[in-house]
Structure 1
Amino acid sequence: MRIGIIGLGDIAQKAYLPVLAGREGTELVLCTRDAKCLHRISTRYRIKECYTELSHLLAAGVDAIMIHAATQAHSQMAMQALQAGIPVFVDKPLSYHFEQCEPVFELAAKQNLPFMLGFNRRYAPLYQDAISAPLLSLNYQKNRFNLPDEPRRFIVDDFIHLIDFALFCGKQAPSDVQLMTSIEQKKLATISVNWQQQQAQFRISMNRLNGINQERLEYHSCNQHWQIDNLRQGVHYQQNQQIPLGFDDWQTTLFKRGFVTMINEWVRRIESGDSQSNDIQHLWNVHWLAEQLTQQAEQRCLKS
């Protein structure tokens, strides 16, 4: 299998190349306009086929494309690959603006091609253990130290991880949400979003004025409760007992954070031609909700 990778920044180098380069039967083809980076990475992983233009990569007979370029280029590059009939994986988000996402989702559905975005948290092993149980309530927070930001970057670049995970657990878009925010010097400092679907309750939040970078998932099922911290350790409560959750020392950070499982799923979709049409609708819902929240938060920042 030949997989083309365009964009060789930090995320590609830290999260994707170490996993993909070690897969038996996978041949990587690299593409970036940064000649020095291209030479360095291709030498490190002994990759012989490299390009500096996307058009050349698309004409190279690859079985799939993975886009790790700047976010501003994601949607255009995805459109080009889909128009060429090539399955596409894109770093999240697809775009900072929802109107640029819609044509890509429509084309992916029309072409019936595998299409995936890099939402790794739904593939994190400790999270997968929890979400296998029917949901009663979810409280998911991802906090950062001293990092208020403009709403679009705050929500669409970071908070969108929580939106994806919550909608993935709920299996549909919420019809009505409650948004709470706090503003610090015209920047978004905290956000909390709540809603209910049938009997399940959802709360996702981010505090950018937290004492430390921190992530915690609390997932409640019938007489069960999972509390998972920073994707790598936690506790499963049931039958009035506490069961510690964690990993063996030999397991990698990329496995703990869901990247290995996500990449395995991506390769499976390429091999099988599985377009996962329901997932395209899910991704549409995620970016649509992110856009609605962003517009509301932007108005609040302007009025503050």
Structure 2
Amino acid sequence: MRVGCIGLGDIARKAYLPVLGGLADVELHVQTRTPSTLTAVADGLHLPGPQRHADLESLLDAGLDAAFIHAPTEAHPRIVTQLLQAGVPTYVDKPLADDLQTCSRLVALAEQRNTSLMVGFNRRFAPGYAGCRDHPRDLIVMQKNRPGPAAGARRTVFDDFIHVVDTLRFLVPGEVTEVATRHRVREGRLEHVVLQLSGEGFTALGVMNRVAGVTEEVLEVSGQGRKRVVRDLADVIDHPDGLPTLRRRPDWVPVPRQRGIEQAVLAFLDAVRAGTVLSARDALTTHALCEDIVAPLEASAAG
């Protein structure tokens, strides 16, 4: 199985390449336009010359069975389009693109080409979060904070808050019938944003503070007299009778597995092997919610 990895930045090197490089049936091909990075990464993986590519055309000529995209967000539409037009099943880091119109076009193209397109919402596969689907969830609260500095609304929501949006959608126990947002923007920068999703018998709150002074991620789910807290996708604290019990991540569990990246990679490749076409239509709903958050902020700024 020939698998391409496009873009060799931190996320690729730390999370995806250790997984892909360890699969016995995968012939890994890597591509970046930065010669020094290409040499360093390929040397570290002991890849021969034919598996190193300086441009996407060379990579496609290798005859890929699947591809992973870890390039900057602004490059996603061009790369995804080329891969789908070539009939290559494609996994792309979130977001698919940073505007809904482009996302919709790419999902439609994948469907027209009958080719898999998967967006890397790894938190759906993270053990700590996936396990929460078996827990009562009358109230879901997720915080994903950053120390700063704040950035523009579109970049913040599509590149970072999108994980919160998608995780809430993944965990809500029923149909969402109400959506509400609040935010604070100063000098064109989004300092905090709050999303509320509600339905019959449940409420889900997502919060991001981009000037919190700390990097943290905390998920709380509660209902029927029980509560569970997951901190930084690692430690799980249950409160079955008001008394907390802590389950820490085992020392030898690799970070890509803890964060659900390994599981997402394997699920995608298993589908490719089986000839199953994966749809990004559900991921498009997450991107649509992000656009709903961003569009009024941009309209207000323009006015």
- Would the aligned equivalents of 2:173 and 2:202 in 1 still touch at CA under 8 Å? no
Q: Give the drift of 1:249.
A: 1.0
Amino acid at match of 2:12: A
The CA distance in 1 between the partners of 2:61 and 2:213, in whole Å, is 49
Q: 1:92 to 1:164 in 2, by over 3 A?
A: same
Q: 1:265 to 1:222 in 2, by over 3 A?
A: farther
The CA distance in 2 between the partners of 1:126 and 1:33, in whole Å, is 36
Give me the TM-score of the superposition, normalised by structure 2: 0.93
Q: Give the drift of 1:273.
A: 2.3
1:5 and 2:5 are equivalent in the alignment:
yes
Q: 1:173 to 1:74 in 2, by over 3 A?
A: farther
Instruction: Please give the secondary structure, in 2, of the residue aligned with 1:292.
Output: helix
- In structure 1, the gaps of 5 or more residues are none
Number of the residue aligned with 1:95: 97
- Would the aligned equivalents of 1:140 and 1:216 in 2 still touch at CA under 8 Å? yes
The CA distance in 1 between the partners of 2:175 and 2:119, in whole Å, is 17
Which string of whole-angstrom CA distances, capped at 9 and with x for unpartnered residues, describes residues 223-244 of structure 1?
3211111111131122444321
Number of the residue aligned with 2:250: 248
The CA distance in 2 between the partners of 1:88 and 1:173, in whole Å, is 29
Which string of whole-angstrom CA distances, capped at 9 and with x for unpartnered residues, describes residues 76-104 of structure 1?
21111111111000011111111111111
- In structure 2, the gaps of 5 or more residues are none
The CA distance in 1 between the partners of 2:233 and 2:300, in whole Å, is 32
Amino acid at match of 2:137: L
The CA distance in 1 between the partners of 2:269 and 2:175, in whole Å, is 27
The CA distance in 2 between the partners of 1:126 and 1:84, in whole Å, is 37
Q: Give the drift of 1:221.
A: 3.8
Residue in structure 2 matching 1:204, options 198, 206, 211: 206
Instruction: Please give the secondary structure, in 1, of the residue aligned with 2:178.
Output: coil
Amino acid at match of 1:47: L
Instruction: Please give the secondary structure, in 2, of the residue aligned with 1:177.
Output: strand
Q: 1:160 to 1:237 in 2, by over 3 A?
A: same
Q: 1:108 to 1:134 in 2, by over 3 A?
A: farther
Show the 5 A alignment for 1:26-65. Answer: 26-48=26-48, 49-65=51-67
Residue in structure 2 matching 1:167, options 166, 169, 180: 169
Show the 5 A alignment for 1:101-112. Answer: 101-112=103-114
Number of the residue aligned with 1:281: 281
Give me the TM-score of the superposition, normalised by structure 1: 0.93
The CA distance in 2 between the partners of 1:172 and 1:237, in whole Å, is 23
Which string of whole-angstrom CA distances, capped at 9 and with x for unpartnered residues, describes residues 253-295 of structure 1?
2221111111121221211222243xx2211101111111011
* Equivalent residue pairs, number: 301
Amino acid at match of 2:22: G
Amino acid at match of 1:160: I
- Would the aligned equivalents of 1:226 and 1:236 in 2 still touch at CA under 8 Å? yes
Q: 1:292 to 1:113 in 2, by over 3 A?
A: same
Instruction: Please give the secondary structure, in 1, of the residue aligned with 2:98.
Output: coil
Amino acid at match of 1:145: P
Amino acid at match of 1:15: A
Q: Give the drift of 1:157.
A: 0.6
Q: Give the drift of 1:129.
A: 1.3
1:272 and 2:274 are equivalent in the alignment:
yes
The CA distance in 1 between the partners of 2:257 and 2:59, in whole Å, is 29
Amino acid at match of 1:95: A
Show the 5 A alignment for 1:226-237. Answer: 226-237=228-239
